[in-house]
Structure 1
Amino acid sequence: MSFHLSDSLHPSDSLRSAVVSRLRAAGCVFAEDEAELLFAAARDADELDAMAGRRAAGLPLEQVVGWAAFSGLRIAVDPGVFVPRRRTEFLVDQAVGLAAAGAVCVDLCCGSGAAAAVLLSAVPDAEVHASDIEPAAVRCARRNVEPLGGRVYEGDLFAPLPGALRGRVDVLVANVPYVPSGEVGLLPAEAREHEPLVALDGGADGLDVLRRVAAEAAVWLAPGGSLLSEVSEQQCAPAIDALAGAGLTPRVVTDEDLYATVLIATR
């Protein structure tokens, strides 16, 4: 289907209906809302047609329009980059609550850099560093984080971070992949087909990366500093064991509305 758009800011009823029908036929549950975002993002008829086609083909809406709403910010999201989830706002809210003015913060497995961007926006004079192993994520995160004064590094977990951060980190956000390998195939197609596997697959029980983070966290955290990570409710017990075994003191906080479970482990 091709569209002819005379005014991208004021689409006709027939055009609006055509886009909604196209999205609904592709299985988009919130077709009306998504259509409005496409109208707002498209600069002309050809771009609207292409964007609607990409969404109908299964690309995440955020990758199609180029951004995601997250904790009051508009976070740039490029194709092939993990899309920040709304439930992760709870994790970041907890991190902001722990960060005093001037706090040293690190965002591991940063993806688009959403957590780092929120910390920079919400915590006065925060010093924020972020890292990710995926080059596409690093490029995207730099667009979101560095204009706000943060730094983004490419590499595996702590490896690319400046050594001067050891023992100084007040808040360590590690939104690590935690989907068990055997369950990745059960994820929605837009996630498993259009987001990097390394951002989803957490190993046999989903906790491989968290264990690696926990093993090094105490070296990087300041006294009283905290590691925050999101897990599933079913993973709480073994995750707590891993954090406690690394010399940290863990506790669990939850948000039932967002189905969010966050572990906060303090040095």
Structure 2
Amino acid sequence: MPPLSPASPSPSPSVPSRDSVVAALRAAGCVFAEDEAELILTAARTTEELTALVERRVTGLPLELVLGWAEFRGLRIAVVPGVFVPRRRTEFLVAEALAHAPGAAVVVDLCCGSGAVGAALAAALDRPEVYAADLDPVAVRCARDNLADAGGRVYAGDLFDALPDTLRGRVDVLAANVPYVPSDEVALLPSEARDHEPLVALDGGADGLDVLRRVAAEAPHWLAPGGCVLVETSERQAPAAVDAFTRAGLTTRLAVSEELYAQVVTGVKR
């Protein structure tokens, strides 16, 4: 990477300038180098830490993992190496959940990753019971930290197998940010996802819908009457995702956000 040159003028010749940080990030291919530089400069407490943070970023570590947090619906969600980083487009899933069930009392964040969806729902609702589950132990530990203030309970296991039976028939909002990348397209993902996030959080099987179909089939047993299950999918996969929900006996709708390039399928228990 380009050397971090001292500021000129500067109160200390050893302190890298903002311009040198921007230059290093831009040379590494960071599209939003100026914005990233501001965040990294704010996060660094010492010159040594600043140099280390910039070096991690220019070697390809996602910015969120460099900082240790990701912004999601105005919250700072802690993220650690090896956990799926929440995407801004998933904010649309949260918005759809709140629009359908603004008074939800029981919320489940399935395939929870960092627990961002559960944390966002907890922040927007009136003290709901919050549960979350993930197959990945790194995600479970991270989600426990992010959901601690909400009193969230986080479980390790495969989808519904991880949840306590006492939740059957009680869930008002079941948000499942399932993996939906087709197996043969994982290698085409940006390196930030492909190289730094767990395969289990990305690979959705041959057509990308293996996990989604499992969630659709089981969700009616866990939802309260009028409760909803929501998943994110792609434009190409949306018709098949809607069909999976409909076949499970759910009243189904597809919502699209052009701004966020997001597709959310919602199924409501009759």
Aligned to 2:202: 200
Say whether 1:127 aligns with 2:122.
no
After superposing on structure 2, the runs of 4+ consecutive aligned residues of structure 1 that deviate more than 4 Å are 2-5, 10-14
TM-score (normalised: structure 2): 0.93
- Correspondence for 2:171 among 166, 169, 172: 169
State the Cα distance separating 1:45 from its structure 2 match.
1.2
Alignment partners' CA distance in 2, 1:4 and 1:101: 54
Aligned to 2:71: 69
Say whether 1:118 aligns with 2:120.
yes
**Are the equivalent residues in 2 in contact too, given 1:3–1:46 (CA < 8 A)?**
no
Alignment partners' CA distance in 1, 2:6 and 2:132: 43
- Correspondence for 1:79 among 58, 65, 81: 81
Aligned to 2:40: 38
Alignment partner of 2:160: what SS? coil
Aligned to 2:266: 264
- Correspondence for 2:257 among 249, 252, 255: 255
Aligned to 2:144: 142
Alignment partners' CA distance in 2, 1:103 and 1:185: 40
Q: Where do 5+ consecutive residues of structure 2 fail to align? A: none
**Are the equivalent residues in 1 in contact too, given 2:15–2:47 (CA < 8 A)?**
no
- Correspondence for 1:93 among 95, 112, 125: 95
**Are the equivalent residues in 1 in contact too, given 2:104–2:173 (CA < 8 A)?**
no
State the Cα distance separating 1:125 from its structure 2 match.
2.2
Alignment partner of 1:148: what SS? coil
- Correspondence for 1:158 among 151, 160, 183: 160
Alignment partners' CA distance in 1, 2:27 and 2:181: 29
Alignment partner of 1:27: what SS? coil
CA shift in 2, pair 1:14/1:150, >3 Å: closer
- Correspondence for 2:215 among 213, 216, 224: 213
Q: Where do 5+ consecutive residues of structure 1 fail to align? A: none
- Correspondence for 2:189 among 187, 190, 196: 187
> How high is the sequence identity, in percent, across the aligned residues?
64
Give deviations 1:54-96, integer Å, cap 9, x for gaps: 1111111001100111101111111111110001101111112
Alignment partners' CA distance in 2, 1:202 and 1:180: 5
- Correspondence for 1:227 among 221, 225, 229: 229
TM-score (normalised: structure 1): 0.94
Aligned to 1:53: 55
Alignment partners' CA distance in 2, 1:210 and 1:101: 25
Aligned to 2:239: 237
